[in-house]
Structure 1
Amino acid sequence: MELEKIRNLSDSELRVEEQKAAEQLFRLRFQMKLGQNEGVKKLRELKKDIARIKTIARERELGLHGAAPKAESSAPAKPAKKKSTKKEAR
C-alpha cells in the first residue's frame, strides 16, 4: 500500500486496514509453517505496510505530520563558554 493512500485514510479506516493486514500476516505465517514457502515477498510487504500504518497513526496521535519540530525552549541557545587557559608569568 502506498504512503499517500495510507495518509488519505481516516483514523477508523486505518485501524481496519491494520487489522486486515495483521490477519493476512498471521495466515501467511501459518501457511509458511505448513511448508508453502511461496509468500516470502508478500510477508515482507505486509510487515512494511503494518509499520507504515502504525507510523501514520502515531504521527496523527502526536500531531506531527506537517508541523515543524518545536524547540524545547523559546530562548535562543547560547554557546558554551570556554575555559581560559592562560599561562601564569613567573
Structure 2
Amino acid sequence: MKKTDIKGLAESEIAEKLKESRTELFNLRFQLATGQLDNPHRITMVKRDIARLHTELRSREIAASKSQAQ
C-alpha cells in the first residue's frame, strides 16, 4: 500500500485497513512460528503498511488540531 493510496481513504477506511493489517501480521507471525511461512519479507511489508496507516491518522489529527486552533 502506497502513501497516495492511503491519502485517498476516509478515516473509517484507514481504521478498517489497520485492523486487517494487524490481523494479517498476527497470522504471519503464527505461520512463522509453525514453519509454514513462504515469504518472510511479507512481515516487514505489513509492518510498514501499519506504520504508514498510523502516520496518516496522526497527520490528520495534527491538521485538525491546527485548524481548530486558528
Same fold (TM over 0.5): yes
| 1:41 is aligned to 2:41 | yes
Residue pair 1:14, 1:53 contacting (<8 A) in 2 also: yes
Corresponding residue of 1:19:
19
Task: Return the offset for 1:36.
Answer: 1.9
Task: Give % identity.
Answer: 34
Corresponding residue of 1:9:
9
Corresponding residue of 2:61:
61
- Secondary structure (helix, strand or coil) at the match of 1:49 reads helix
Task: Return the offset for 1:7.
Answer: 0.7
Greater Cα radius of gyration, structure 1 or 2: 1
Point out where structure 1 has 5 or more consecutive residues left out of the alignment.
Answer: 68-90
CA RMSD of superposed structures (Å): 1.6
Q: Give, in whole Å, the separation in 1 of the partners of 2:45 and 2:14.
A: 17
Q: Give, in whole Å, the separation in 2 of the partners of 1:40 and 1:6.
A: 24
Corresponding residue of 1:81:
none
Q: Give, in whole Å, the separation in 2 of the partners of 1:46 and 1:7.
A: 18
**Which has the larger helix fraction?**
2
TM-score by length of 2: 0.86
Task: Return the offset for 1:40.
Answer: 1.0
Point out where structure 2 has 5 or more consecutive residues left out of the alignment.
Answer: none
| 1:30 is aligned to 2:30 | yes
Task: Return the offset for 1:60.
Answer: 0.2
Poorly superposed stretches of 4+, deviation over 3 Å: none
